[in-house]
Amino acid sequence: MKFLVTGGAGYIGSHMVKFLLSKNHEITVFDNLSSGKFINNKINFIKVDLVNLNKLDQLMSKKKFDAVFHFAALSIVNESEKKPRKYYLNNVQGTKNLINSMIKYNINNLIFSSSASVYGAPKTKKILERHKLKPISEYGRNKKEIEKILVRIGKKKNFKSISFRYFNAAGADETAKIGENHKPETHLIPKILNSIKRKKKKVYIYGNSYKTIDGTCIRDYVHVNDIVRAHYYGLKKFRQKKCILNYNIGSGKGYSVLEIIKGIEKVTKVKLKIVYKKKRKGDPPILIADCKKILKDLKWKPKYKNINKILSTAWRWHKKSFI
Ligand SMILES: NC(=O)c1ccc[n+]([C@@H]2O[C@H](COP(=O)([O-])OP(=O)(O)OC[C@H]3O[C@@H](n4cnc5c(N)ncnc54)[C@H](O)[C@@H]3O)[C@@H](O)[C@H]2O)c1
């Protein structure tokens, strides 16, 4: 089949590309390389910004894609608060352009990278998809708005979509050829691994008085290749006449920041020096996915169940990479 992967030069997108190639599909990547840099020579790579509708139309008219995997986005939560316009333009307008261009050229199947940030600070420990969407960051509001657009268009037109709400993507491909590398890196695991690589042992924890087992925030980590597999399983839903779906993708288990640090110490065999800092605004204490819906509908569950295994795939990549 012919697939378009937007943001295919980034962390999750590059894993998606590798997986699709392993199944012998024909892949085109659209990426503006604002943060991504992985380019696989077996794909048709096109440097393009989704904000540029004319260029997008030109490119879309050339190939009839069976489906589009839409990973391209800016995703630094703090930055989104400081630069809401930049985020709206890139994430919401860029996605609107993509959808409009798809509709123009009769490409009707889209898988969208949404996020647990749509839930904001949830009321329940485990979050179901029907939980109220109350994002507390501009980034989360971007994701919520795009999900709403997809629902609206799906009801009016023959346009099918699945919004996958990822919790924390983590780990790297077993080959250690691709892995997580955001610039700047704000994600806990790669941030610490980067420091260790540079022989720095100081680690900051923001807040230790949350109502959790050890006072630090709890998050749900899911291996990047498990996320990718869920996308592939999702494709079968496009056989339905109507398809406007959303699913959580998580492990269903939560780990505190301290537990992750201990796991990293174990995997890297490096003792870290923890420094506690003040809580950050907008950090919900606990975010854990309830994954019953995706298990029931797509028969998906994570293969990586052990957090130390996830951490060791990440460490293997970090050790080898040139970042
Ligand atoms: N990493 C996570 O834990 C996580 C969690 C929830 C949701 N998500 C979402 O998953 C998607 C992928 O995340 P990631 O961690 O791989 O991010 P990433 O930054 O590694 O990849 C995003 C890619 O999109 C490209 N891009 C950004 N804006 C673009 C534009 N206007 N036009 C063309 N290309 C553009 C970047 O150059 C980059 O290669 C994003 O939509 C993100 O919001 C990620």
pLDDT tens for each residue of 43-102: 999 999 999 999 999 999 999 999 999 999 999 998 999 999 999 999 999 999 999 999
Burial class of residue 256, CB neighbours in 10 A (0-12, 13-18, 19+): buried
Q: Using an 8 Å Cβ cutoff, are 187 and 180 in contact?
A: yes
pLDDT at 40: 83
What share of the chain in percent tops pLDDT 70? 100
Distance between start and end Cα atoms, the chain: 34
In single-letter form, the type of residue at position 92 comes to V
pLDDT above 90: residue 287: yes
Per-residue pLDDT tens digits for 103-121: 999 999 999 999 999 999 9
pLDDT at 183: 83
Report which ligand 1 atom has the smallest distance to the Cα of 70: 41
The pTM score is 0.97
How far, in Å, from the CA of 51 to the mean position of ligand 1?
14
What share of the chain in percent tops pLDDT 90? 91
**Domains in the chain with CATH codes:** 2-170+221-249 (3.40.50.720), 188-219+252-290+297-320 (3.90.25.10)
Give the residue among 293, 287, 155, 180 at the shortest CA–CA distance from 234: 293
Give the number of other Cβ atoms within 10 Å of residue 193's Cβ. 27
Report which ligand 1 atom has the smallest distance to the Cα of 8: 39
Nearest-5° Cα angle at 186, 261 to 50:
145
Instruction: Give the C-alpha distances (Å, rounded to integers) separating 227 from 76, 166, 231, 276, 300.
Output: 19, 8, 7, 32, 10
Rounded mean pLDDT of 280-287? 86
How far, in Å, from the CA of 239 to the mean position of ligand 1?
27
- Preceding amide of 302 cis, omega within 30: no
Instruction: Give the C-alpha distances (Å, rounded to integers) separating 158 from 125, 237, 250.
Output: 36, 14, 29
pLDDT above 90: residue 323: no
Q: Using an 8 Å Cβ cutoff, are 260 and 218 in contact?
A: no
Per-residue pLDDT tens digits for 135-162: 999 999 999 999 999 999 999 999 999 9
C-beta 74 within 6 A of ligand 1: yes
Burial class of residue 132, CB neighbours in 10 A (0-12, 13-18, 19+): exposed
pLDDT above 80: residue 322: no
Q: How confident is the model at residue 37 (pLDDT cuts 50, 70, 90)?
A: confident
Which residues are catalytic, by number? 139
Q: Which two tokens stand for residue 183?
A: 């610039």
Rounded mean pLDDT of 245-264? 98
C-beta 50 within 6 A of ligand 1: yes
Beta strand 218-219 pairing with 255-256: antiparallel
pLDDT at 39: 78
C-beta 91 within 6 A of ligand 1: no
Rounded mean pLDDT of 238-263? 97
C-beta 32 within 6 A of ligand 1: yes
Instruction: Map tokens 């990278």 to a residue.
Output: 113
pLDDT at 184: 86
pLDDT at 51: 98
pLDDT above 80: residue 38: no
Q: How confident is the model at residue 307 (pLDDT cuts 50, 70, 90)?
A: very high
Rounded mean pLDDT of 244-250? 98
Q: Whose CA is nearest to atom 26 of ligand 1?
A: 72
pLDDT above 80: residue 255: yes
Q: How confident is the model at residue 313 (pLDDT cuts 50, 70, 90)?
A: very high
Q: Whose CA is nearest to atom 11 of ligand 1?
A: 71
Residue of 5, 28, 35 to test ligand 1 pocket, by largest number of atoms within 8 Å of CB:
35
C-beta 135 within 6 A of ligand 1: no
Residue of 4, 6, 12 to test ligand 1 pocket, by largest number of atoms within 8 Å of CB:
12
The one-character DSSP state at 236 is G
How far, in Å, from the CA of 112 to the mean position of ligand 1?
11
Residue 263 or residue 185, greater confidence: 263
Name the 3-class secondary structure at 99.
helix
